[in-house]
Amino acid sequence: MKRAIISETPKHIGEKVKVSGWVQSCRSHGKLIFIDLRDKSGLLQVIFLPNLSGNILETAKKIRPEWVVEIIGIIKKREGNTENKNIETGAIELSVEEIKVLAEAKTLPFPIDDDGYQIKEEKRLKYRYLDLRRERMKNNLIVRQKAAIFIRNFLSDRGFLEIETPILTKSTPEGARDFLVPSRLQPGKFYALPQSPQQYKQLLMVAGIEKYFQFPHVFRDEDLRADRLFEHTQVDIEMSFIEQEDVFNLIETMITDLAEKIFNKKIQEKPFPRITHTEAMKKYKSDKPDLRKDKESGELAFCWVLDFPMFEVLEDGSIDAVHHPFTALADEGLKKFKAISVEELRSPQGKKELLGFKAKQYDLVLNGVEVMGGSIRTHESEVLKKTFEVLGHKPEAVKKRFGHILEAFEYGVPPHGGIAAGFDRLLQTILNEKSIRETVAFPTATSGITSVMDAPSSVSEDQLRELGIKIVKKD
């Protein structure tokens, strides 16, 4: 007999069906035993009548929550006022004829019939496969998929090509620490896990792809917080022959449709307001202003923040790119940037000058959270080279670390630009979830330990020897 999905059982009143799933709860009322059976699609009340054979009733009495069972029975309409309006199958029940226990289950370490927020993160992540049984988590995963399909179709329909880029790669500067992977074939050398596919997507523009997107996993070894993960998913986009305005148009349509059609949300202001970085800092003391008029109403307040400074000078005097070095300077400053030497720009006076250069960078902010960020890129290899040198890389180091992209730009590079969303964080903000981890199936805990599998873990002496690695205790 073919298994029926619980949500479809109301269509089978009077028929014999086979269902299988987990026991959500069991209770007895006098001589009647009830269980609520759960599968991916919903809940179904199952009733054991007292006239069933002794074996079946014995089994029914033994059953505990979260056991996995298969039941054959007849779908019946529930009597008069016993309907349960809260569940989809509330008008029916399954009257048992046969039952098979497929797996018993220990008592769960925590309840799963509530939202689970009160349970400690470590515990939820250690038993994530149980935590995901709760309705809220399942729905978050369902919505995540809907959002991903929507974005994938939206971009594909507009001629974007989805292309995967490598995970074992070379360090690319996004401002965080790299995760490194030792090479067995070249002991002493390391791959870096990508902080973003930034250089690959630009190389794809040199390759003539013109419109690229991907849902890459990216890795950043930084301090973990409620809205940060070591490993997160981006929606990464790059386009050729475009201006900032083209990015705004594309993204604004995509995000508006996503919020309204997939999440049924109201957007506070359309088109999204635009604020320069200077204005945002002056008026809101933040480059991620929260423009919500009413923080309780569930509305989404988007805004673009633009005209960021290109450089910042850190406390130790070093110079950094506010976004990343591939970002183009605003047209007004470009001539000046070209005219001043690297030495002058790195001098104390030059540093002051540097802070005045604006970049073609833009962020999309939602309710005070940066959900997307991108820029038009420098496509002149000389300017890119100079940017690296201004950031403090010696010419030889630039060649070693970035020679590949500088060389690529010598073979006909189209003007290009793009943007990336932190997909998990975007979902978190739209869903108004307390933590980015609520939108990811198996996230790393704030302590840095992975869900369920307890990595990082030690490796064998043999593995270390093969990689030419010796562990040195830190003081």
CB of 137 to ligand ASP, least distance (A): 27
User: By CB under 6 A, is residue 374 in contact with ligand ASP?
Assistant: yes
- Tell me the window of 25-33, 91-99, 328-336, 370-378 that interacts with ligand ASP (CB under 6 A): 370-378
User: By CB under 6 A, is residue 199 in contact with ligand ASP?
Assistant: no
Question: On the CB side of 374, how many CA atoms lie within 13 Å of its CA?
Answer: 30
Beta strands in 308-386 (DSSP E): 311-313, 319-321, 361-366, 369-376
Give me the count of residues in the chain.
475
User: By CB under 6 A, is residue 216 in contact with ligand ASP?
Assistant: no
H/E stretch holding 26: strand 16-29
Q: Minimal CA–CA distance to 438: which of 101, 181, 173, 132?
A: 132
- Please report, for residues 37, 204, 399, 413, the alpha-carbon distance to residue 388 in angstroms, rounded to integers and kept in the order given: 61, 21, 10, 19
Which listed residue (59, 165, 196, 244) binds ligand ASP by CB under 6 A? 196
User: By CB under 6 A, is residue 373 in contact with ligand ASP?
Assistant: yes
User: By CB under 6 A, is residue 428 in contact with ligand ASP?
Assistant: no
Which residues have CB under 8 Å from 167's CB, separation 6+?
193, 194, 217
For residues 45 and 234, which CB has a smaller minimum distance to ligand ASP in the complex?
Answer: 234
Q: In whole angstroms, what is the distance from residue 34 CA to residue 26 CA?
A: 6
- Tell me the window of 100-108, 129-137, 309-317, 371-379 that interacts with ligand ASP (CB under 6 A): 371-379
Do residues 388 and 378 lie in contact, with contact meaning Cβ atoms separated by under 8 Å?
Answer: no
Which listed residue (66, 93, 174, 227) binds ligand ASP by CB under 6 A? 174
Which listed residue (125, 193, 420, 440) binds ligand ASP by CB under 6 A? 420
Cis peptide preceding 456, ω within 30 of 0 = yes
Structure tokens at 152: 């994938």
Do residues 311 and 321 lie in contact, with contact meaning Cβ atoms separated by under 8 Å?
Answer: yes
Please tell me the count of residues contacting ligand ASP according to CB under 6 A.
9
H/E stretch holding 428: helix 423-431
CB of 165 to ligand ASP, least distance (A): 12
User: By CB under 6 A, is residue 206 in contact with ligand ASP?
Assistant: no
CB of 33 to ligand ASP, least distance (A): 56
CB of 196 to ligand ASP, least distance (A): 3
For residues 174 and 433, which CB has a smaller minimum distance to ligand ASP in the complex?
Answer: 174
Question: Would you tell me which residues interact with ligand ASP (CB under 6 A)?
Answer: 174, 196, 198, 373-375, 418-420
